[in-house]
Amino acid sequence: MRKFWIGSGLVSALVAAAFTLASCGGGSTEAPKTADSGAAPAGGPAATPDMDNGGTITGKVTFDGTAPKMAILDTSANPVCAKAHASSPLRSEEVVVNPNGTLKNVFVWVSAGLPADKTWQVPSTPVEIDQNGCEYKPHVIALMAGQNLSIKNSDPTNHNIHPQPSVNQEFNESQAPGTPPIDKTFPRQEIMIPVKCNVHNWMRSYINVVSSPFFAVTGDDGTFSIKGLPPGTYTLEIVHEKYGKQDQQITVGAKESKTADFTVKG
């Protein structure tokens, strides 16, 4: 009798509370926790790296230890994916040690030391991420805050792309085969945003959003090069999805070239 209506009331209250909590959680993106971009530049127009007179930092990330075996991914949940890797299995790119003993997919950036009042020109060319062979190419992406990210699907199958940022806006969108790229921008600086596909629960990638143009991702030779820096002392940080962060203080003058090598212990 009465207690059943009370019970139903409780359930509704639970649901209402859940929705309230959810909307509070969803609204937490107003205050950027890190430096943002896109705001009106206080110190004049947006700057670009000075390729002729700026400083350069080059270096490489060496892997110290035995290269871990790259885990085989089970792609059998989707025949299209399994077929794409019929000859050799798809492997996790969590740790990729290059043949020359360096580490691939390390994000490198100037994390501190840039003039605070300067805003940097956002490149008009988009950065591309491709869902290809049921994996993300490339595995680690870096772009500027406000720069276009063009999300492609080259596969003859469906994907959903679901980045999980904490200071940018989360989204989850499906992309059917043969459909045009999805364009997205991330307005706030945020490092190592995990990206997932839930159709293919092995697909992982990371997006790095930086408010300056001074960043790089190591490739097949494990090297990086950051050019056009204004003279100054900087914190150069490397971030790897498994091995975490390291940094170095480094001073460059005009037209000067410095080397900053890192070693990551496996």
Partner 1 sequence: MDNAWLHRFAVMVAVCTFLLVVAGSLVTSNDAALSVPDWPLSYGRLVPPLEGGIRYEFAHRAMALLVAILTITLAVWLERAEPRRWIRRLGWAAAVAVLLQAILGGAAVRLITPKAVTIAHACLAEICFGLVVAIVVGQELRLDSFSWAVETPAPLVAAIALFGQAILGAMVRYGLTGVAFHIIGAAIATILVMWAGLRIPLRRPALALLTLTFSQVFLGLGSYMARVVNLATPQPMPLTIAFTVAHVAVGSLAFGAAIALTMAPPVAHGGVALA
Based on the shown chain and the rule CB under 5 A, indicate whether residue 195 belongs to the binding site for Cu ion.
no
- B/e letters for 16-55, b = 16+ CB within 10 Å, e = fewer, are eeeeeeeeeeeeeeeebeeebbeeeeeeeeebebeeeebb
Based on the shown chain and the rule CB under 8 A, indicate whether residue 206 belongs to the binding site for partner 1.
no
CB of 62 to partner 1, least distance (A): 23
Based on the shown chain and the rule CB under 5 A, indicate whether residue 129 belongs to the binding site for Cu ion.
no
With CB under 5 to 8 Å by kind, the binding choice for 8 among partner 1, Cu ion, none is partner 1
Closest CA to 60 of 105, 103, 99, 98: 103
Binder of partner 1 out of 43, 48, 154, 173 (CB under 8 A): 173
Q: 56-75 mask for partner 1 (x: CB under 8 A)? A: ---------------x-xx-
Q: 154-173 mask for Cu ion (x: CB under 5 A)? A: -----x--------------
CA distance 111 to 247: 9
Q: 4-43 mask for partner 1 (x: CB under 8 A)? A: xx-xx--xx-xx-xxx-xx--xx-----------------
Beta strands in the chain (DSSP E): 55-64, 107-112, 127-131, 136-137, 140-144, 149-153, 159-163, 173-175, 182-184, 190-196, 204-210, 215-217, 223-229, 232-240, 244-252, 257-259, 262-265
Based on the shown chain and the rule CB under 8 A, indicate whether residue 137 belongs to the binding site for partner 1.
no
CA distance 137 to 155: 12
Instruction: For residue 244, count CB atoms less than 10 angstroms from its CB and return exposed for 0-12, middle for 13-18, buried for 19 or more.
Output: exposed
Kindly indicate which of the ranges 58-66, 106-114, 140-148, 153-161 contains the residues binding partner 1, using the contact rule CB under 8 A: 153-161
Cβ-based nearer residue to Cu ion, 70 or 80: 80
Bond into 138 cis (ω within 30) = yes
Based on the shown chain and the rule CB under 8 A, indicate whether residue 105 belongs to the binding site for partner 1.
no
Based on the shown chain and the rule CB under 5 A, indicate whether residue 199 belongs to the binding site for Cu ion.
yes
Residue 153 has phi, psi (to 5 degrees) of -125, 105
Based on the shown chain and the rule CB under 8 A, indicate whether residue 183 belongs to the binding site for partner 1.
no
> For 130, what's the count of Cα atoms within 13 Å in the CB-facing half-sphere?
8
CB of 164 to partner 1, least distance (A): 9
With CB under 5 to 8 Å by kind, the binding choice for 174 among partner 1, Cu ion, none is partner 1
The separation between the first and the last C-alpha atoms of the chain, rounded to the nearest angstrom, is: 65
Based on the shown chain and the rule CB under 5 A, indicate whether residue 104 belongs to the binding site for Cu ion.
no
Tokens describing residue 100? 């020359």
* Interface residues toward Cu ion, by CB under 5 A: 159, 197, 199-200, 203
* Interface residues toward partner 1, by CB under 8 A: 1, 4-5, 7-8, 11-12, 14-15, 17-19, 21-22, 25-26, 71, 73-74, 77-81, 92, 94, 157-158, 160, 162, 170-174, 176, 196-202, 204
